[in-house]
């Protein structure tokens, strides 16, 4: 088949910062995707933990198209009904009392990191400006968020970068204790490090972070851009851990594929973002907020959340069964439907080979760094699609193992 738009065009017209797959998807339904040639894929990637209700969920299509016929955009010189309804829903269903909307995870974090500085400056003075974050963490790609992020490769070549940021070992209470001081304005943590290798925080670490923040008048920020909106089996992962932050950021699954982000916080902290201190032209866009509200209404139900836990177990059992035959993983870890297979030393550095083999077997998967094969499917993926996808993944593993032997 010949197409007027091909993958080769990417290399001619796009900035080369991505290396997308060779096939081009054109249609999706539930957890299945079809490419230009009509080849059908099972989707275990979920657009990187974004398509929380799969592709083209009828209720989301209806929410989007209904709003599209009413009002698309008004800017923040006006407010709008979908934004207020979404904010009300978020405040009624989380610790938060105030919400700021953005268009992405990075922007939600940018707002959070500016807010913690502003809050400390308002209440304690300019000296209290240090942000403590974790090594291997990921918080987005703006200059501030890559700087708070704990992966040096993402700041290389971009100096000078913002200062006043310290990085500690993830899950090391000792390391956190050593770094935190009265100069600390905030500690930033992902409850599960997503990009950093699908590594869950220990309960003790998050509890210690909460206690140390309280002792030093610092704010605790949870980046739940990847873990939020049902992915953990609770609406937000902080609920799984019973540790409540002062600020929480959400994006990815929140829009189910429509770009939207949110920063949630308390009334007291929110006060430091007075009129004119921060903003966004699109933040709170009616289309985005109408879709996100529908996503939350569907995801935040006992059936869907219990489904995430049951499906998680089905995935873990299936991956462990594959691993019992082929011995490629040291460990299968994660929380809910954010799962990672950590490669054994024999396959170290080869996560991408597994992802590419999966593609050849018509399965979309992800990597998290070079040693972890990551899965972040729809939260409502049918069990039959999990089983079919795992069958395809087994064929992919067999291929990589066969080529290696
Ligand atoms: C993806 C991600 C981000 C960045 O979100 P964008 O929408 O790509 O800007 C931030 N934090 C975490 C934990 C993420 O997984």
Residues 293 and 231 in one domain: yes
Ligand 1 center to 178 CA (angstroms): 27
Residues 52 and 94 in one domain: no
Residue 405 pLDDT grade (very low, low, confident, very high; cuts 50, 70, 90): confident
Is the residue at 65 inside a domain? no
Q: Is the dihedral of CA 240, 241, 242, 247 positive or negative?
A: negative
Ligand 1 center to 11 CA (angstroms): 25
**Pair 216, 210: CB distance under 8 Å:** no
Residues 326 and 234 in one domain: no
68-77: average pLDDT: 97
Nearest CA to ligand 1 atom 10: 139
353-368: average pLDDT: 98
- pLDDT, residue 404, reads 87
Q: At what angle do helices 302-326 and 286-299 cross, to 10 degrees?
A: 80
Question: Ligand 1, from 112, 138, 368: best to mutate by most atoms within 8 Å of Cβ?
Answer: 138
Q: At what angle do helices 302-326 and 383-404 cross, to 10 degrees?
A: 20
Residues 195 and 262 in one domain: yes
Ligand 1 center to 38 CA (angstroms): 31
φ and ψ of 29, to 5 deg: -150, 120
225-230: average pLDDT: 98
- On the question of pLDDT at 212 being above 60, the answer is yes
- On the question of pLDDT at 263 being above 90, the answer is yes
Residues 349 and 250 in one domain: no
- On the question of pLDDT at 100 being above 60, the answer is yes
Ligand 1 center to 210 CA (angstroms): 22
Cα–Cα dist 77/90, whole Å: 22
For the record, the structure tokens of 266 come out as 């308390």
Residues 342 and 291 in one domain: no
Largest CA-CA distance found in the chain, in angstroms, rounded? 65
Closest atom of ligand 1 relative to the 142 alpha carbon: 9
Closest atom of ligand 1 relative to the 226 alpha carbon: 15
Full-prediction pTM beyond 0.85? yes
Ligand 1 center to 359 CA (angstroms): 24
Residues 137 and 205 in one domain: yes
Ligand 1 center to 106 CA (angstroms): 6
Residue where a domain stops, chosen among 299, 322, 344 = 299
Split into its structural domains, the chain has a count of: 2
Residues 320 and 384 in one domain: yes
- On the question of pLDDT at 256 being above 60, the answer is yes
Residues 295 and 306 in one domain: no
Closest atom of ligand 1 relative to the 109 alpha carbon: 10
Question: Ligand 1, from 102, 104, 140, 229: best to mutate by most atoms within 8 Å of Cβ?
Answer: 140
Q: Write the CATH number for 32.
A: 3.90.1150.10
Residues 29 and 42 in one domain: yes
Range of the domain at 381: 7-56+302-404
DSSP string, 158-200: --S----EEEE-TT-HHHHHHH--TTEEEEEE-SEETTTTSEE
Where does 14-125 have alpha helices with state H?
46-49, 58-68, 81-93, 105-123
Residue 225 labelled as part of a binding site? yes
Residue 321 pLDDT grade (very low, low, confident, very high; cuts 50, 70, 90): very high
Residues 97 and 233 in one domain: yes
Share of the chain above pLDDT 90, in %: 99
Cα–Cα dist 70/38, whole Å: 34
- On the question of pLDDT at 3 being above 90, the answer is no
Residue 106 labelled as part of a binding site? yes
- pLDDT, residue 1, reads 57
Ligand 1 binding pocket (C-beta < 6 A) is 104-106, 109, 138-140, 190, 194-195, 223, 225-226, 251-252
Closest atom of ligand 1 relative to the 227 alpha carbon: 13
Share of the chain above pLDDT 70, in %: 100
302-317: average pLDDT: 98
Residues 46 and 163 in one domain: no
Q: How many CB atoms lie within 10 A of CB 119?
A: 25
**Pair 342, 371: CB distance under 8 Å:** yes
Which residues are CB-contacts of 138 (< 8 A; sequence separation ≥ 6)?
149, 150, 151, 154, 190, 193, 194, 195, 196
Closest atom of ligand 1 relative to the 190 alpha carbon: 13
**Pair 253, 229: CB distance under 8 Å:** yes
17-28: average pLDDT: 97
């Amino acid at each position: 088949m010949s197409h007027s738009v091909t993958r080769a065009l990417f290399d001619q017209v796009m900035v080369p910062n991505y290396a997308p797959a060779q096939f081009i998807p054109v249609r999706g339904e539930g957890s299945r995707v079809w490419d230009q040639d009509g080849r059908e894929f099972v989707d275990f990637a979920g657009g990187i933990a974004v398509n929380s209700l799969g592709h083209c969920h009828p209720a989301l299509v209806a929410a989007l198209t209904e709003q599209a016929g009413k009002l698309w955009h008004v800017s923040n010189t006006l407010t709008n009904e979908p934004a207020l309804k979404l904010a009300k829903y978020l405040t009624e269903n989380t610790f938060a009392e105030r919400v700021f909307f953005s268009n992405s995870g990075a922007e939600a974090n940018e707002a959070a990191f500016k807010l913690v500085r502003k809050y400390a400056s308002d209440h304690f003075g300019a000296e209290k400006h240090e942000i403590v974050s974790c090594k291997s963490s990921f918080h987005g790609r703006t200059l501030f968020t890559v700087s708070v992020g704990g992966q040096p490769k993402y700041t290389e070549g971009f100096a000078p970068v913002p200062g006043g940021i310290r990085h500690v070992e993830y899950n090391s209470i000792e390391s956190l204790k050593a770094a935190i001081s009265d100069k600390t304005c905030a500690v930033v943590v992902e409850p599960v490090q997503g990009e950093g290798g699908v590594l869950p925080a220990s309960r003790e670490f998050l509890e210690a972070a909460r206690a140390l923040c309280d002792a030093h008048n610092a704010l605790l920020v949870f980046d739940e851009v990847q873990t939020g909106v049902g992915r953990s089996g609770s609406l937000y992962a902080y609920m799984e851990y019973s540790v409540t932050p002062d600020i929480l950021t959400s994006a990815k699954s929140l829009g189910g594929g429509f770009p939207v982000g949110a920063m949630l916080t308390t009334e007291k902290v929110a006060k430091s973002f007075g009129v004119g201190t921060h903003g966004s032209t699109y933040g709170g866009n009616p289309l985005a907020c109408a879709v996100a509200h529908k996503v939350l209404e569907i995801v935040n139900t006992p059936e869907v959340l219990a489904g995430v836990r049951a499906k998680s177990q089905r995935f873990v059992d299936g991956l462990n069964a594959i691993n019992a035959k082929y011995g490629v993983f040291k460990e299968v870890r994660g929380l809910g439907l954010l799962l990672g297979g950590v490669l054994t030393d024999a396959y170290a550095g080869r996560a991408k080979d597994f992802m590419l083999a999966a593609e050849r077997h018509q399965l979309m998967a992800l990597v998290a760094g070079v040693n972890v094969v990551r899965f972040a499917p729809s939260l409502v993926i049918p069990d039959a699609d999990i089983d079919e996808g795992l069958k395809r993944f087994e064929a992919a593993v067999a291929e990589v193992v066969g080529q290696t032997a």
